[in-house]
Amino acid sequence: MFTYYSPVFRNIMQTCTLYTPLKRVAVKTEMEWGISHTEAQLLNASRAIVPSMRHDLYKGKAGRIGVIGGSFEYTGAPYFSAISALRVGCDLSHVFCPRDAAPVIKSYSPELIVHPVLDDGNALELIKPWLPRLHVLVIGPGLGRDPSILETVCDIIQFCRDEAEYGKQLVIDADGLFMVTQNPEIIRNYPRGVILTPNAIEFSRLAKSVLDKEWEPTPNPDPERVKALAVALGTNIVVLHKGAADVISDGVTVVTCVSGGSGRRCGGQGDLLSGSLGTFYCWAGLRTARDTSEQVLPFPPPIVAAYAAARLTRECNQRAVTKAGRSTLTTDMLEEIHSAFEALFEN
């Protein structure tokens, strides 16, 4: 299998390159394609995992996502993540949070199903009955670093690992990544698949914890470093390093997303990414379950899901900044999900 990546970070006119074990072959630049040839392939693969809206489907068939996060200080992050999952197109979105965060999160939207259980001494037992109903867990938005909460979340992940019928695909972001730096073994070789979504600082901390490497944070992710982290974490792990270009690797394949985006970075943007990724990851899994042919997608399904979420988030950001400039907030980006989704995946 070959690895492909586009080393385009400061200048979109740089040449994309196809790497094989034997030779390096130049291909057209992004400017010549409009986007890179591989980004075009990834975009087409992303469209292939989007389910059609058919009359014979019932509620839940297009995805049921659970967000594990929230805290007294951070109630916006789990809301942004859970509502983004819904806006992208999943049918049901749950939030599992501490009791004092629940009323605030509930007040943001009647669309979310909010469970005030995460700080309960019996949290795992209270969450267990819901796990079979969910396709993907998004872990970390607004979670905070309370040791007892992090221990509970580790217990949930371990339970999903040990009990096959409860196994879930995981998206881990924010303080969930801090949890991984403290205990990388909790996700190493996780059987159902994990996608990590670190920013530059979070990636640097993961590299120190997992690889014992002192890599300085950079807005221009190094594809080989992203690949190395994914390899070190074992099978079924994908790393999506957010940056000027988003770099995605499962330890074998490496791709980049350079399209869209802007210089505006607003708090909550990563939560939009994690929630939308939860939905795309669910859809990729459902598509794979429907058709086990190796030719279904030209890239591994988790790579496609990660690319789709990154591309959508960057498009939402670009559209929002066009209207609001420096004043752009994540709430502005949420309003762009529908139009951006239609333009990218349905037209």
In order, the DSSP letters of 84-118 are HHHHHT-SEEEEEE-TTTHHHHHHH-TTSEEEE-T
Q: How many CA atoms lie within 13 A of 187 on its CB side?
A: 31
Residue 201, marked binder: yes
DSSP string, 116-181: E-TTSTTHHHHHGGGGGG-SEEEE-TT----HHHHHHHHHHHHHHHH-GGG--EEEE-THHHHHHH
Per-residue confidence band for 4, with pLDDT thresholds at 50, 70 and 90: very low
Residue 205, marked binder: yes
Residue 204, marked binder: yes
Question: In this prediction, what percent of the chain has a pLDDT beyond 70?
Answer: 88
Instruction: Please give the distance of CA 47 from its chain centroid, rounded to a whole number.
Output: 17
Residue 265, marked binder: yes
Residue 41, marked binder: no
Q: Distance (Å, rounded) from C-alpha 338 to C-alpha 125?
A: 37
Residue 127, marked binder: no
Q: Distance (Å, rounded) from C-alpha 293 to C-alpha 67?
A: 31
Residue 246, marked binder: yes
Residue 267, marked binder: yes
Residue 245, marked binder: yes
Residue 202, marked binder: yes
In terms of Cα–Cα distance, which of 20, 46, 1 is closest to 311?
46
Residue 270, marked binder: yes
Residue 183, marked binder: no
Question: In this prediction, what percent of the chain has a pLDDT beyond 90?
Answer: 82
pLDDT higher than threshold 80 for residue 37: no
pLDDT higher than threshold 50 for residue 180: yes
Residue 242, marked binder: yes
pLDDT tens figures, 298-310: 999 999 999 999 9
Classify domain 59-346 at the CATH class level.
Answer: alpha beta
CA 112-113-114 angle, to 5 degrees, is 105
The domain limits of the chain are 59-346
pLDDT higher than threshold 90 for residue 6: no
Residue 264, marked binder: yes
Helical residues (DSSP H) of 255-300, grouped into ranges: 269-290
pTM: 0.89
If one counts every other C-beta atom within 10 angstroms of the C-beta of residue 104, the result is 16
Residue 236, marked binder: no
Per-residue pLDDT, 10: 32
Q: Please check whether residue 234 is in contact with residue 256, taking contact to mean a CB–CB distance below 8 angstroms.
A: no
Q: Distance (Å, rounded) from C-alpha 69 to C-alpha 254?
A: 29
**Kind of pairing between the strands at 64-68 and 136-139:** parallel
Q: Please check whether residue 187 is in contact with residue 235, taking contact to mean a CB–CB distance below 8 angstroms.
A: no
As a whole number, mean pLDDT of residues 266-294 equals 89
Residue 244, marked binder: yes
Long-range contacts of 282-290 (CB under 8 A, 24+ apart): 282/63, 282/64, 282/65, 282/90, 282/135, 282/136, 282/169, 283/49, 283/50, 283/51, 283/62, 283/63, 283/89, 284/49, 285/135, 285/136, 285/169, 286/49, 286/51, 286/63, 286/135, 287/48, 287/49, 287/51
